[in-house]
Amino acid sequence: MGQNHTLLIGAVAYDPKVIPIWDIIREYYRKHDFALDYVLFSNYEAQVDALLEGFIDIAWNTNVAYVRIQRRLEGKAKALAMRDTDIGFTSKIIARTDSGIESLADLKGKRLALGSADSGQAAILPYHYVKTSGIDPEKDLTLLRFDLDVGKHGDTGTSELEVVRALREGEADAGAVGDSTWIRLLEQGQVDTREIRAVWTSPDYSHCNFTALPSLDDALAERFRELLFAMDPADPDIRNMMEMEGLNEWVKAEGAGLDGYRVLFDAMADQGL
Amino acid sequence: MDVHGLTPDRQLDLGDIPAGPDLFLLVRNALQRTEQGQILELISTVPQIKNDLQSWCRLHRHRFLMALDGGDHYRFLIRSGTAALDKPDWGIRLPLRKGGKLDIRDWFEGRVGELREHASSYVGFVPRGAVAEPGIPDFGFTLNRKDDVWSDNLLDLYEQAKAGQWNATEDIDWEALPQLPEDLEWAVCQIMTFLAENEYSALYIPAKFMARINPHYIEALMYLSTLIQDESRHIEAFTKRALAGGGGLQYSSTLTERSLHSLFIQEDYFKSSFLLHVLGEGTFLDLLTFIEQHSPDPVTRQVVTLAKIDEGRHVAYGIGHVRHILQQHPGMAKALVEAADERNEYLNGADAGDNSHVMEALAILAGGGRDPGRLKAGFIQVGKLKTVMYEHRVQRLLQIGLDRETAEAISKSHTPNFM
């Protein structure tokens, strides 16, 4: 319908399922006469550059990538939409039950395991929250960092599994993981809460979003969003995609959803990231 | 949050179950039974589950409202954010028939009784009446309409079939088998070979279609499974009769195999049902009656008589099924003529000769021996059998709703293989 430009979306290939996810999304848009294609990147830094250079129109970004783009564009990038599950995301501090750790204050003098250095949920934000609670992570704690899959911003979850493993094997007393990983491990029975328990939950923050340059055509962006929000989970393909991508519905990036990125701006500035 | 105005709609006591698979499974199931917007109250003696429950709720779209300290226990209120599953039936008791019998004809109550004209293809193996979670994969069933498989007498036939099962090992009086003159024993063995061969096709063809039938019409599958059990028992009994008298299985003709192959490759269930149950098994009934009449010994007679009762049910299903479809869609009669024509075209494509061994055996059986006089008399009887077969075929075709002209045309062109 008068669209003479194929909207190009960038996503990071952190798992083989990323391909069927985006094939389904592309097919859905094509069915609605909206020309859309996608490009996969091996890491978020390359995707950030591609968006800034205008090679892609929209980037499916982690919160860390979003913050980097906003800093480069002085806050002018547009956040178009996010998953319902991207809002109210939290990190958990988990601890061995025999460590005596019941709160953040108890971490003093203990060994804390962190996930990948570029993971918002498993490293950057937990570090920030511990620090703002009055503990100096560099002096008061022994940090164990598991920098796996750097460039994927924690998407693969492998570093969080390493954190849990380190606790289980007694290498660390406490660790940081995202709540979705933690709940999945509990649901699957991979953690015994008699051995390891979540002792602290961070305030809510936001996770991923669709980020666009300020120059993206408003009408095009609006049509992209309309179709996104109109996806019907009763459609077996859409349902399949939503399960793989971990959402129940797409929502606008506004209000609490947007406010949820503020803490990460502070954390990254403080940590020089 | 203000606790006033929050009235739980459902309660779940979790005792001291810790956060883990069991706890989340129970909470998830309870929420599936809770209407969207209603409140589930969890009772637990484990305070640590609060934060895990909060995170779990966020990821699964429910709203954690509040935690209340009850002294020796905690109460957690969750507002369900997802649609509840449909309510399954509860409280339905089926009536019993005389003698305490629970008949399948009486189970069409509540959700089980909601038999649709067109079943969803996303039904999987969810029993009709049960409540399915969303997201069932497509099993690829292709017979998804009631008309495709149903017959008004289906349930009666199913009950009859179960009551009429017999055992080829002990229900036949094998000890009563006499030593027959060799010619007669050979004729019986040749005929048993032919009967068994035909029953292989009658077993395989419905079995081929069963996996394509939508499980919504489970009663059709139940009936067909009795039919398949019947056929396997017939194969067993006919083969045993050939072996029991010291003879053995005899000749199979190319014509028979080609004829059965033409049935086997039919991929349309309506056409297949017509060719197999109405034309094939219908004509088979007349053949069994003929063998019964001329049976030289009580064992052959008993085997054939029992098989004939079973075959009668198969023909009744075929006639009921095809008639049901023709009543709804009279234009479908064309497909039947087409099916018969296609089959003839296939069979005429090669010079496959005649069913000569079977014809000879039938003449020996009817005439009482192999000498020329008896053979001659026997062939006259076989000729009469063909006339009876033709007439009965026409009658069955009229029964399913075809006009006389069409019925006669189809009956005339029917394969000399009988089946």
Say if residue A105 is in the same domain as residue A184. Answer: yes
CB contact (8 A) between residue B59 and residue A201 = no
Q: According to the model, what pLDDT value does residue B3 have? A: 56
d(CA A252, CA B284): 71
Specify the CATH class of B146-412 in words.
mainly alpha
Would you place residue A164 in the very low, low, confident or very high pLDDT band (cuts 50, 70, 90)?
very high
Strands (E), B123-260: none
Q: Does B138 touch chain A (CB under 8 A)?
A: yes
Is the separation of the CB atoms in B249 and B239 below 8 Å?
yes
Is residue A183 domain-resident? yes
pLDDT per residue over A87-144, tens digit each? 999 999 999 999 999 999 999 999 999 999 999 999 999 999 999 999 999 999 999 9
Write the CB contacts of B274 (distance below 8 Å, at least 6 apart in sequence).
B318, B322, B336, B339, B400
Based on the fold, state whether residues A14 and A55 are members of the same structural domain: yes
For chain A, give the number of residues: 273
- Is the pLDDT at B144 greater than 90, yes or no? yes
How confident is the model at residue B413, as a pLDDT?
A: 79
Name the H helices within B17-153.
21-32, 49-59, 146-149
Q: Which residue, of A145, A177, A201, is where some domain finishes? A: A201
Residue A106 covered by a domain: yes
What is residue B17's predicted lDDT score, i.e. its pLDDT?
Answer: 96
| Residue B350 predicted with pLDDT over 70 | no
Compare CB distances from A197 to B21, B48, B54 and report the shortest one's residue.
B48
- For residues A185 and A215, membership in a common domain is answered with no
Give me the mean pLDDT over the B115-125 stretch. Answer: 89
Count of domains in chain A?
2
* A171 in the same domain as A121: yes
The residue with greater pLDDT, B378 or B345, is: B378
Residue A231, domain CATH: 3.40.190.10
Q: Considering only alpha carbons, which residue of chain B is nearest residue A248?
A: B61
Higher-pLDDT residue of B3 and A18 is: A18
d(CA A230, CA A233): 9
Least confident of A51-60, A230-239, B16-25: A230-239
Q: What percent of chain A has pLDDT over 90?
A: 92
Chain B residues with CB under 8 Å of A189 CB are 20-21
Is B139 near chain A, with CB under 8 Å? Answer: no
What HEC string does A38-103 produce? EEEECCHHHHHHHHHCCCCCEEEECHHHHHHHHHHCCCCCEEEEEEHHHCCECEEEEEEHHHCCCC
Structural domain spans, chain B: 10-79, 146-412
B52, HSE (Cβ side, Cα atoms, 13 Å): 26
Average pLDDT over residues B241-269: 93
Residue B355, pLDDT score: 79
Identify the closest residue of chain B to A86 by CA–CA distance. B59
Largest CA distance in chain A: 65
- Give yes or no for residue B416 having a pLDDT over 80: no
pLDDT digits (tens, 9 = 90+) for B65-100: 999 999 999 999 999 998 899 999 999 999 999 999
In terms of domains, do A111 and A42 share one?
no
Question: Is-contact A148 A160, C-beta < 8 A?
Answer: no
Find the range with the poorest average confidence among A148-157, A184-193, B10-19, B226-235: A148-157
Q: What residues in B contact A186, CB-CB < 8 Å?
A: 19-21, 24, 52, 56
**Residue B18 forms contact with A (CB below 8 Å):** yes
Tell me the residue range of the domain where A240 lies.
Answer: 7-86+206-271
Domain boundary among A201, A231, A250: A201
Give the end of a domain, one of A154, A176, A201. A201
Which helix (H) or strand (E) is B105 found in, with range?
A: none
Burial A255-267 (b: 16+ CB within 10 A, else e): eebeebbebbeeb
Task: Examine residue A36 and state whether it is found in any structural domain, yes or no.
Answer: yes
Q: What is the pLDDT of residue A4?
A: 73
What confidence tens digit (pLDDT) does each residue in B319-344 have? 999 999 999 899 999 999 989 888 88
Show residues of chain A in contact with B134, CB under 8 Å: 234, 239
Q: SS3 of B392, please?
A: helix
Q: How far apart are CA A58 and CA A80, in angstroms?
A: 9
What local confidence, expressed as pLDDT, does residue B122 receive? 76
DSSP of B294-310, one letter per residue?
T-SSHHHHHHHHHHHHH
Distance between A195 CA and the closest CA of chain B, angstroms: 12
Residue B137 is predicted with a pLDDT of 80
- Predicted confidence at residue B4, as pLDDT, reads 59
pLDDT in tens, B42-60: 999 998 899 999 999 999 9
Domain-embedded: residue A2: no
pLDDT at A1: 45
pLDDT of residue B90: 96
Is residue A108 domain-shared with residue A82, that is, in the same domain? no
Does residue B47 belong to the interface with chain A, where contact is any CB pair within 8 Å? no
Of B19, B61, B82, Cβ closest to residue A186: B19
Q: A60 CB contacts (<8 Å, ≥6 apart)?
A: A9, A10, A11, A12, A208, A210
- Is the CA virtual torsion B390, B391, B397, B402 positive or negative? positive
User: What pLDDT is recorded for position B2?
Assistant: 55
Counting one residue from A and one from B, how many pairs have CB atoms under 8 Å apart?
Answer: 56
Q: Give per-residue pLDDT as tens, B174-184.
A: 999 999 999 99
* pLDDT at residue number B239: 98
Q: Do A179 and B61 touch (CB under 8 A)?
A: no
Establish if B64 touches chain A: CB-CB under 8 angstroms. Answer: no
Phi, psi angles (nearest 5°) of residue A36: -140, 140
Domain assignment present for residue A146? The answer is yes
ipTM of the complex: 0.87
How high is the mean pLDDT of chain B? 93
Residue A252 binned pLDDT confidence (cut-offs 50, 70, 90): very high
Residue in chain B closest to A187 (alpha carbons) equals: B21
Length of chain B: 419
* pLDDT mean over A265-269: 97
For chain A, the C-alpha Rg in angstroms (whole number) is 19
User: Between B171 and B48, whose confidence is greater?
Assistant: B171
Q: A17-26, A239-248, A255-264 — which is least confidently predicted? A: A239-248
- Per-residue pLDDT of B304-317, as tens digits, reads 999 999 999 999 99
The verdict on residue A257 lying in a domain is yes
Neighbours of B53 (CB within 10 A): 23
CA–CA distance, A258 with A251 (Å, rounded to integer): 11
> For position B351, what pLDDT does the model report?
61
Q: Are strands A111-114 and A174-178 parallel, antiparallel or unpaired?
A: parallel
pTM of structure: 0.82
pLDDT at B412 over 90: no
Q: Which residues in A lie closer than 8 A to residue B138 (C-beta atoms)? A: 236
The answer to whether B21 and A167 are in contact (CB under 8 A) is no
Using CB atoms within 10 Å of the CB of residue A239, give its burial: 0 to 12 exposed, 13 to 18 middle, 19+ buried: middle
With bands split at pLDDT 50, 70 and 90, how would you rate the model's confidence at A234?
confident
Q: Which residues of chain B neighbour A188 with C-beta distances below 8 Å?
A: 21
B83 touches chain A (CB under 8 A): no
One of 3.40.640.10, 3.40.50.720, 3.30.110.40, 3.30.460.40 is the CATH number of B10-79, namely 3.30.110.40
